[in-house]
Amino acid sequence: MIHVKGLTKRFDELEVLSGVDCDVTESEVVCVIGPSGSGKSTFLRCLNLLEEISGGEAVVNGHDLRDPKTDINALRTEVGMVFQRFNLFSHKSVIDNIMLAPVKVRKLKKKEASDIALVLLEKVGLQDKAGVFPHQLSGGQMQRVAIARALAMNPKIMLFDEPTSALDPELVGEVLSVMKTLAREGMTMIVVTHEMGFAREVADRVVFMDKGKIVEEASPDDMFNRPQHERTQEFLSKIL
Ligand code: ADP
Ligand code: MG
C-alpha cells in the first residue's frame, strides 16, 4: 500500500527527512515513535502530499508522489488523516462536518452522505450527537468525529498524527478504542503516537525515528523489550 525509499524532505536549507525507507502492506498497522522534531509529522504529511517531497521514491496506493500528474484529490480521498487538533468546522453540526467532503469531493447525494455519516457516528459511539456543534463536545468526542469524518471518504489508508496527545488523560481511551476497532477490521494504518500501550497491543511493527531517519524498526515485543540501537534505548528509557 505504501512504498517509500530514500525519501528526503527539505525546508529551504533544513533537511528534515534524510532518506526514509518504509513499506507498509495491506492491513498492516505501523506505529511511529520518536523524539519531538525527528520528522514524524513531516513524514506523514508527505504521504498525502500536504508537503511536497524533495527526493526519493514514494508510492501510495498506486499513486507515484513524484509524478506531477498524480491526482491529489484522489490520493487524499484514499488516504485519510487525523491530526492532534481536531480541525472540525466550528459553525457546522457534527453530521454536517462528516457530510461535507463526501458531498463536495465524492459527489454523493445529501441523503446518501447523511446515511453514511450516521453509520459512522454509531461506529465511533456518537450516534446521539449528530445535530450538536463541536463546542458542545469533549475533546475525545471531537476526535472521534474527526475519525468518522476521515472514514466518510472511504479511505484505504489512515494516517494518525498523535491523535490523543491533546486530550485529557481520561479521554484517551475512547479514541484509542475506536482506532483499535479500525485496526481489527483490517484498515492499513500509520500511527504516530506516544501511547506505548496502544503500540504494544495493536502495532504489527513499530518504527523509531530520530533526526529525519528511521533508526530502528521491529515488532512491538522486540522494540520495547530488546531495542537494539543506542538512541532507541535512550528514548525508550525516558518514556517507559
Ligand atoms: P515531529 O513530528 O517528529 O515532532 P516535525 O515533522 O513536525 O517533527 O518536524 C521536523 C523538523 O522540521 C523540525 O525541526 C521542524 O521545525 C521542521 N519543520 C516542520 N515543518 C516545517 C515547515 N513548514 N517549515 C520549516 N521547518 C519545518
Ligand atoms: Mg509531530
Q: How far is CA 94 from the centre of its chain?
A: 20
**Å from CA of 117 to ligand 1 middle:** 33
Please give, one letter per residue, the 3-state secondary structure of 53-65: CCEEEEEECCEEC
pLDDT in tens, 63-111: 999 999 999 999 999 999 999 987 899 999 999 999 999 999 999 999 9
**Mean per-residue pLDDT for 226-240?**
95
Q: Tell me the CA end-to-end span of the chain in Å, nearest whole number.
A: 31
Locate the ligand 1 atom nearest the alpha carbon of residue 34 and give its number. 3
Nearest-atom index, ligand 1, CA of 42 = 6
Ligand 1 residue neighbourhood (C-beta within 6 Å): 11, 14, 16, 34, 36-42
Q: How confident is the model at residue 142 (pLDDT cuts 50, 70, 90)?
A: very high
- Reduced DSSP (H G I as helix, E B as strand, rest coil) percent helix, strand, coil of the chain, to 5: 40, 25, 35
How many A from CA of 153 to the centre of ligand 2?
A: 24
pLDDT at 86: 76
User: How remote is the CA of residue 89 from the centroid of ligand 1, in Å?
Assistant: 25
In angstroms, the CA 208 to CA 38 distance is: 10
Which residue CA neighbors atom 27 of ligand 1 most closely?
A: 11
Nearest residue (CA) to ligand 1, atom 11: 37
Per the structure block, which three cell numbers stand in for 95?
453530521
- If you average pLDDT over residues 51-59, what whole number do you get? 97
95 contact partners, CB below 8 Å, separation of at least 6? 114, 117, 118, 121, 130, 131
